[in-house]
Amino acid sequence: MTRFIACICAYDGAHWCGSQRQKNGPSVQGEIERAIEEVLKHPAPIILAGRTDAGVHASGQCFRFATENKIPVERVPLALNSTLNQSIRVLRAWEVDENFHPRFSAKARVYRYRIECAPVGNVLLRNIAAHSRSTLDVYKMQDAASAFIGRKDFAAWQSAGSPTATTIREVTRLEIVERSNVFGSNLIEIEIEANGFLYQMVRNIVGALMQVGQGKLTTQEIESLTEGRDRTKCPPPAPTQGLCLIEVKYEP
């Protein structure tokens, strides 16, 4: 009897060419599939909830696979973690029906982006936070965040290379906070939730917010860029290492 098992996993994206299997290097998908085959003694392709680029992290990525192995589902995380590269960890697992699809069943996704503001970047943060030598005006960034809230056409904030049927998305939350950290510098955390994201949409939005914080862009200009739907007129994306997929939300 075929069983369908869903898992939540976390990974350090600095070690991988991206979440999806690719020809140019090792991927998160490839490593998880290798571990599943080693543990369950058969190949089992996985379906991921979303694609993350090289250098992008996750603490709440979801994947699903099918198996006829009778391993108790509560033992799946321990079994996979015993052979997975230490930069990937399966946090929990549960059985689902065959209609559950990690990507298409998702109702919302949450990403968090970290920026360290300091004259010299801390080497211990270099893989988990972008670095800004200049201070960013968090209040201006918070004000500009409102320009991205709501159901809009985000064509201007999608990078080329990932065709989609529609560029309409609904951003339900975009919060920006500044915290001090144990290394003596300040970290700006940008958390954004939407019913879906276009390719590199989060990094493109953060790139614009960083320019707002530097005084190079205004809230009104962001609104005009969104209305113009022209990616070539928008600021460049923020670096990959600051981005983390925090959660994929499903109906209870």
Angle at 247 between CA 242 and CA 251, to 5 degrees: 160
Token digits for 36?
Answer: 């599943």
Say whether 137 is catalytic. Answer: no
Long-range contacts (CB closer than 8 Å, 24 or more residues apart) made by 135-138: 136/188, 136/210, 136/213, 136/214, 137/212, 137/213, 137/214, 137/215, 138/176, 138/177, 138/178, 138/188, 138/213
The residue annotated as part of the active site, out of 53, 97, 137, 143, is 53
Q: CA dihedral defined by 235, 128, 176, 252, rounded to 10 degrees? A: 110
Do residues 209 and 145 lie in contact, with contact meaning Cβ atoms separated by under 8 Å? yes
User: Which residue in the block uniquely carries the two structure tokens 């689902």?
Assistant: 96
Q: How many CB atoms lie within 10 A of CB 142?
A: 18
For residues 50 and 109, give the distance between their C-alpha atoms in angstroms, rounded to a whole number: 9
Task: State the catalytic residues.
Answer: 53
